[in-house]
Chains A and B, each alone.
Chain A
């Protein structure tokens, strides 16, 4: 692993940043003393269990509230007939609120797994039993849950979370006609689920006139502000805490469980906890929409792109528009005189999709980087070389220059470390026993953004410091990273720094999302620490209550220059394919990333390797299967929805090259998502190299490999 000291301007006595540091809360986590939202004790706690619809479309005719109330321990049954009305006409952090979250407001059921009631009881078991036996009758209506590339109801949406749905420049047909080589293929990705190890859990109670939520989320102010709008409360009347979070990946914002818990605690006047079951997370917590992506590439004889057209279709819910921005990578990665990206949607009776780790970039890079690999094959050019030839120093989408684009450096360094030059270009040419062996490459990019954040640091008389920043450590190691950033800027040892986070009373801060968390929070911590250090340098005595300095990066973030800021990376994979059984196993993976200043190499490696593992999982395993007739998921649990197991993740190496962001005081770009981007394509490109057969639909299941026929031994 390479870590190079950076030359950024605030490089005071930099010792901690860039040095491996174990998680500061690691002891608590591995010994089980770190408490998660669903296990924090409350006096007089009642337990709520959500009841989900068993039809995919229709209306609720009746809810047998009385029957449930006769069951042991049952305290209340909330449903559309008795729940308080809440406000849903507002614009929140991700736009209009997901209607799945605004529970029990009407009798309409738009999808199977829609929340229709909450049963509250004295114990979780009583609540679950009463919820399971609650009689709800429906009037069913026809439903459509079958996502398909040629769905007649596909349409162009008005906007996406990342800008206009369509970008277009140049004449596609002319450029394609002028091309020596053309690729025109359809790529498909599956419906995927975040599957955080810790399912969603929230406890709500009223305490001294304030609403308190103990939760597991990716941003306490995010959740607090959504709840404030839904329940028409002042933001200051809500406190949301979320100390330890067992994974989020985009799914842990404001969801049905928090809203239902607030309704129940308001009615019962005692604390109420609502925990989603694993199965419930499949319809209540969002998902990565399946995509069908058509990529057309045209290149001259030397492999230089003349035409690029990337159009993606994804499913969304009937009452909620989520554009999976899969054509986005093309706006960053490769230029062409005719350049087009477009997104379409189709509304189905499915639960609401949402952001999932590397939204857009993960499925989009699979399609684009697969197509680039196919182009390399057709041109007879090495896939690394083809990508180098198509490097660009201005973003194709905006025409703006990059602050830094070290993609070629990543490709060259990755190729060197991976041993790419020993590769035989021909597919199906390497066999070891029953396995066909292949290698593949793909590129990665992810935007580097920052969100306004406030922080406060207190210097105590004993020489220690407390950092207050409303960060969310969702398992990323943010708490540790912020400790290192603060220690360096304060000129003290990390042992003298405590970080308090995960509490909306700490003030506004960016969320753990979009790879912006650590960058946004570190910025504010850095500013406060710098000012505090200057104050302390004056030599004043520290009073018992300490000296506190506050920071707010709102203006600084606004003032960021109008460049294209991205991380880049190159992914390499070696796979083995058994042509008799269709089994695909990854043998090794290697990624090289240019992703800003790396704060903590230990947890950074964790993030990058974890992201690459997600890519393996996306390429080979993850697929939520839906029964078209019932509209429901088939086997929505971790036995049926497979993620990569340890045995699927062999040697995975992550390296980084020097790439500090010149506009960030710590040089950070953010590394939460870049590791996932391109990883699936590296794997599938390697499958092609092993077998000679392109796999354009994910996951690459054994039956798909067998159906494709495989390699030189194929009959």
Chain B
């Protein structure tokens, strides 16, 4: 572990100035990811600028139903906020589905967005990884990639973004606010993460030295009817194998409004816009849900061992949208998930590890 300096910032301008002065410095939020990476040598900052004491820990929800969530709000505080739970239940569920109680008490909203992939090759400094050492290669393409990306990956990197919270934020059109020495700025979450391309080490569109100050959510009545589901082999304390945020509003049997985003399928939280297009105005029925999932998954390019995730995301999408539709029409109504939308079995040629 490299020896490093430690400074605690007391205001945003000071924090930004400290980072501006030292290109080898990093902001420290909860440290739940960065410190681990420092221990294994993946991250080797010369200095840490602790931003936890900055006055960025408030959550404001306006009359109109917009939210502004400070960057140093902990995951725990976000998950229990009554207005967040009422207006964006999937966001609270997503946060609670992540990590453990102890980690959520430490982890911050800003840090959550900037956490790094949990790809085992990224974590192993004894081997290559294009994200860690640009140009060194991606061993996952030919190696272990059972849980790696099926969408928008390239030969340069097939890792997935690990955030649960980010999946809900992607669904709800979040905007990231930041500050640099040059002033303030904002990025819609849709533009926040860069495509993998041939530069997987460039992960976000944040300018150098930028400090995330807040995340805002626009009003979205449909978000009140939302759900987050995370699939994992272990019931807690595990990253998603696939996850989903869905919000659904049904009027007279038709999808009146919808939000859909997937997790653990790409290098960023994946807003399923193609699926949303199929859903909007279509009958709230299992066949529609399956068609929507298929529309989004048409772009999937699975590797040898992760084709099963295509099946998983399709099943998951149909299952959760069906649940939401059933909730919308009341428990007495027929459940939307009929046998026609039953789960597919493993895709042909989808070998298992």
Question: Which residue numbers of A lie inside 8 Å of B, CB to CB?
Answer: 54, 72, 125, 128-129, 132, 279, 434, 579-585, 620-621, 625, 627-630, 632, 634-635, 637, 639-640, 642, 644-648, 699, 701-704, 706-710, 713-715
Contacts of B120 in A (CB 8 A): 625, 634-635, 640
B312 touches A582 (CB 8 A): yes
The proximity string for B residues 110-138 relative to A, scoring 1 for CB distances below 8 Å and 0 otherwise, is 00000000101101111100000000000
29 contacts between A and B (CB under 8 A): A129-B3, A132-B1, A583-B231, A585-B235, A625-B144, A625-B353, A630-B139, A634-B121, A634-B143, A635-B118, A635-B124, A642-B234, A645-B236, A647-B236, A648-B235, A699-B233, A701-B353, A702-B231, A702-B241, A703-B308, A703-B352, A703-B353, A706-B311, A707-B345, A707-B346, A707-B352, A708-B345, A709-B346, A714-B343
Contacts of A635 in B (CB 8 A): 118, 120, 123-124
Nearest 4 Cβ contacts at the A-B interface: A635-B120, A647-B235, A707-B346, A647-B236
A621 touches B233 (CB 8 A): yes
Q: Is B146 an interface residue (CB 8 A)?
A: yes
Contacts of B235 in A (CB 8 A): 585, 645, 647-648
Selected from A54, A701, A715, the residue in CB contact (under 8 A) with B344 is A715
Contacts of B40 in A (CB 8 A): 279
- Distance of A642 Cα from B239 Cα, bound (Å): 11
- Distance of A39 Cα from B231 Cα, bound (Å): 39
Contacts of B318 in A (CB 8 A): 580
- Distance of A72 Cα from B1 Cα, bound (Å): 12
- Distance of A54 Cα from B121 Cα, bound (Å): 13
The proximity string for B residues 261-281 relative to A, scoring 1 for CB distances below 8 Å and 0 otherwise, is 000000000000000000000
A125 touches B342 (CB 8 A): no
The residue in chain B whose Cβ has the minimal distance to the Cβ of A627 is B143
The residue in chain B whose Cβ has the minimal distance to the Cβ of A279 is B40
CB within 8 Å for A581 and B312 given contacts A129-B1, A715-B345: yes
The proximity string for B residues 309-353 relative to A, scoring 1 for CB distances below 8 Å and 0 otherwise, is 001100110110000000000000000000100111110001011
Using A54-B126, A129-B2 as known contacts, list a sample of 9 further A-B pairs with CB atoms less than 8 Å apart, ordered by residue number in A. A129-B3, A581-B316, A625-B120, A629-B142, A632-B127, A635-B118, A645-B237, A707-B352, A714-B343
Contacts of B3 in A (CB 8 A): 72, 125, 129
Contacts of B241 in A (CB 8 A): 702
Q: Is B232 an interface residue (CB 8 A)?
A: yes
B124 touches A581 (CB 8 A): no
Interface residues of B in 148-165 (CB under 8 A from A): none
Q: Tell me the total A-B contact number using a CB cutoff of 8 A.
A: 127
| Distance from B26 Cβ to chain A, minimum over Cβ atoms (Å) | 18
Contacts of B142 in A (CB 8 A): 629
- Distance of A546 Cα from B144 Cα, bound (Å): 64
- Distance of A525 Cα from B298 Cα, bound (Å): 71
- Distance of A233 Cα from B238 Cα, bound (Å): 48
B319 touches A580 (CB 8 A): yes
Interface size class of B (residues with CB under 8 A): 35 or more
| Distance from B242 Cβ to chain A, minimum over Cβ atoms (Å) | 8
- Distance of A132 Cα from B42 Cα, bound (Å): 11
B41 touches A132 (CB 8 A): yes
- Grouping DSSP codes into helix (H, G, I), strand (E, B) and loop, the A interface class, with mixed when no group exceeds half, is loop
| Distance from B349 Cβ to chain A, minimum over Cβ atoms (Å) | 11
The proximity string for B residues 292-313 relative to A, scoring 1 for CB distances below 8 Å and 0 otherwise, is 0000000000000000100110
| Distance from A666 Cβ to chain B, minimum over Cβ atoms (Å) | 39
B346 touches A710 (CB 8 A): no
| Distance from B205 Cβ to chain A, minimum over Cβ atoms (Å) | 28
Selected from B124, B234, B319, B346, the residue in CB contact (under 8 A) with A645 is B234
Contacts of B2 in A (CB 8 A): 129
A581 touches B1 (CB 8 A): no
| Distance from A698 Cβ to chain B, minimum over Cβ atoms (Å) | 12
Question: Which residue numbers of B lie inside 8 Å of A, CB to CB?
Answer: 1-3, 40-41, 118, 120-121, 123-127, 139, 142-144, 146, 231-238, 241-242, 308, 311-312, 315-316, 318-319, 339, 342-346, 350, 352-353
CB within 8 Å for A629 and B1 given contacts A640-B120, A709-B346, A715-B345: no
- Distance of A647 Cα from B350 Cα, bound (Å): 30
A580 touches B315 (CB 8 A): yes
Selected from A125, A640, A715, the residue in CB contact (under 8 A) with B343 is A715
- Distance of A630 Cα from B139 Cα, bound (Å): 9
- Distance of A502 Cα from B316 Cα, bound (Å): 53
- Distance of A646 Cα from B308 Cα, bound (Å): 27
- Distance of A434 Cα from B322 Cα, bound (Å): 11
| Distance from A129 Cβ to chain B, minimum over Cβ atoms (Å) | 6
Contacts of A708 in B (CB 8 A): 345-346
Contacts of B238 in A (CB 8 A): 642, 645
| Distance from A692 Cβ to chain B, minimum over Cβ atoms (Å) | 13
- Distance of A713 Cα from B144 Cα, bound (Å): 31
| Distance from A688 Cβ to chain B, minimum over Cβ atoms (Å) | 17
B233 touches A706 (CB 8 A): no
The residue in chain B whose Cβ has the minimal distance to the Cβ of A623 is B353
- Scoring B232, B235, B236, B344 by chain A CB atoms within 10 A of each residue's CB, the highest score goes to B235
| Distance from B228 Cβ to chain A, minimum over Cβ atoms (Å) | 14
The residue in chain B whose Cβ has the minimal distance to the Cβ of A700 is B233
Contacts of B143 in A (CB 8 A): 627-630, 634
| Distance from B163 Cβ to chain A, minimum over Cβ atoms (Å) | 15
B234 touches A706 (CB 8 A): no
Selected from A579, A632, A699, A703, the residue in CB contact (under 8 A) with B146 is A703
| Distance from A275 Cβ to chain B, minimum over Cβ atoms (Å) | 13
- Distance of A580 Cα from B143 Cα, bound (Å): 27
- Distance of A583 Cα from B139 Cα, bound (Å): 28
- Distance of A644 Cα from B143 Cα, bound (Å): 26
CB within 8 Å for A714 and B342 given contacts A627-B139, A629-B142, A632-B127: yes
- Distance of A178 Cα from B142 Cα, bound (Å): 48
| Distance from A640 Cβ to chain B, minimum over Cβ atoms (Å) | 6
- Distance of A583 Cα from B236 Cα, bound (Å): 12
The residue in chain A whose Cβ has the minimal distance to the Cβ of B316 is A581
The residue in chain A whose Cβ has the minimal distance to the Cβ of B311 is A706
- Distance of A715 Cα from B353 Cα, bound (Å): 23
| Distance from B257 Cβ to chain A, minimum over Cβ atoms (Å) | 24
The residue in chain B whose Cβ has the minimal distance to the Cβ of A650 is B235
A706 touches B308 (CB 8 A): yes
Selected from A72, A701, A709, the residue in CB contact (under 8 A) with B345 is A709
- Scoring B120, B125, B127, B350 by chain A CB atoms within 10 A of each residue's CB, the highest score goes to B120
| Distance from A506 Cβ to chain B, minimum over Cβ atoms (Å) | 37
- Distance of A625 Cα from B140 Cα, bound (Å): 13
Contacts of A434 in B (CB 8 A): 319
- Distance of A707 Cα from B344 Cα, bound (Å): 9
| Distance from B319 Cβ to chain A, minimum over Cβ atoms (Å) | 5
Contacts of A132 in B (CB 8 A): 1, 41, 125
| Distance from A234 Cβ to chain B, minimum over Cβ atoms (Å) | 40
B352 touches A713 (CB 8 A): no
- Distance of A125 Cα from B339 Cα, bound (Å): 59
Contacts of A707 in B (CB 8 A): 308, 345-346, 350, 352
Contacts of A642 in B (CB 8 A): 233-234, 238
- Distance of A148 Cα from B118 Cα, bound (Å): 28
- Distance of A249 Cα from B33 Cα, bound (Å): 30
A706 touches B312 (CB 8 A): yes
- Distance of A644 Cα from B352 Cα, bound (Å): 22
Contacts of A580 in B (CB 8 A): 315-316, 318-319, 343
- Scoring B121, B231, B233, B311 by chain A CB atoms within 10 A of each residue's CB, the highest score goes to B233
Contacts of B237 in A (CB 8 A): 645, 647
- Distance of A715 Cα from B343 Cα, bound (Å): 6
| Distance from A350 Cβ to chain B, minimum over Cβ atoms (Å) | 16
| Distance from A645 Cβ to chain B, minimum over Cβ atoms (Å) | 5
- Distance of A637 Cα from B125 Cα, bound (Å): 14
| Distance from B226 Cβ to chain A, minimum over Cβ atoms (Å) | 18
The residue in chain B whose Cβ has the minimal distance to the Cβ of A635 is B120
Contacts of B41 in A (CB 8 A): 132
